[in-house]
Amino acid sequence: MTAAQGAFTRDWFDSHVPVWTRLLAPLVGRAGARALEIGCFEGRATCWLLANVLTGAGARIDCVDTFEGSDEYPSMDVSMAGVRERFEANVAPWRDRVETYVGGSADVLRRLDGRYEFVYVDASHAAADVIADAVLAWPLLAAGGVMIFDDYAWDWFARPERNPRIAVDAFRACYAGHYELLHVGYQVAVRKLPAYSQSAAAAILPPRPQGHAD
């Protein structure tokens, strides 16, 4: 079964497949690989990962969602009726490799035990929630692991703090030197470095005035 064969009412994912295929190639078939998906909706990305990346022995994915939707959904004509049931049906072929945590990400992420080789941040679009999810998930991401932020270019709301972009930019600035930037487009992808890198930080932050200590 592929993601395209599931019961989906929306396709917010398939356009990202070429980038994901390239970025996640090292995880394909890796035994024991673990992924964390923060916000899964009907499981389109979940199914793609399970069918194409998390194919090694013991590979798993943990999914976090309230299954209650976001505050923009009414204006987008998105109904949450039956979403959890569709998610469960869509991932059923891989049921033994999927753990579902129903609840707010701010609570669930504090209870999880890493390490994950891949983290997908795709829950609330509010900037404060996006950066909270990223900060809570970052310690769970293994060195060398990839974190992808969805909806970096999403601008549904006129007020910028209700969209993800400023949160992703703030995270990138705060964690400069701790990651390698892999991709910037509609989504942003970073790879966690095993140790702080001054050169990686310099690529993100402006130079500091002389005379200031590190």
| Token pair belonging to 130 | 């996006």
Q: Quote the pLDDT of residue 102.
A: 97
pLDDT for residue 214 = 61
pTM (two decimals) = 0.91
In whole angstroms, how far apart are CA 129 and each of 86, 90, 120, 164, 210? 25, 27, 14, 9, 36
Question: Per residue of the chain (214 residues), what is the pLDDT tens digit?
Answer: 445 466 888 777 999 999 999 999 999 999 999 999 999 999 999 999 999 999 999 999 999 999 887 766 766 666 667 889 999 999 999 999 999 999 999 999 999 987 999 999 999 999 999 999 999 999 999 999 999 999 999 887 778 888 999 999 999 999 999 999 999 999 999 999 999 999 999 988 877 666 566 6
pLDDT for 109: 98
CB-count burial class (<10 Å; 0-12, 13-18, 19+) for 135: middle
List C-alpha distances in Å: 189 to 8, 26, 67, 185: 25, 15, 25, 9
Burial class (CB in 10 A: 0-12, 13-18, 19+), 116: buried
Cβ neighbourhood burial of 98 (10 Å; 0-12, 13-18, 19+)? buried
Q: Which structure tokens are listed for 206? A: 């402006």
Identify the structural domains of the chain with CATH numbers, from first to last. 3-202 (3.40.50.150)
Centre a 10 Å sphere on the Cβ of residue 62 and count the other Cβ atoms it contains.
22
Q: What is the pLDDT of residue 76?
A: 66
Cis peptide, bond prior to residue 84, ω within 30 of zero: no
Q: Taking CA 117 as the corner, what is the angle to CA 170 and CA 108, rounded to the nearest 5 degrees? A: 65
Tokens linked to 1: 């079964």
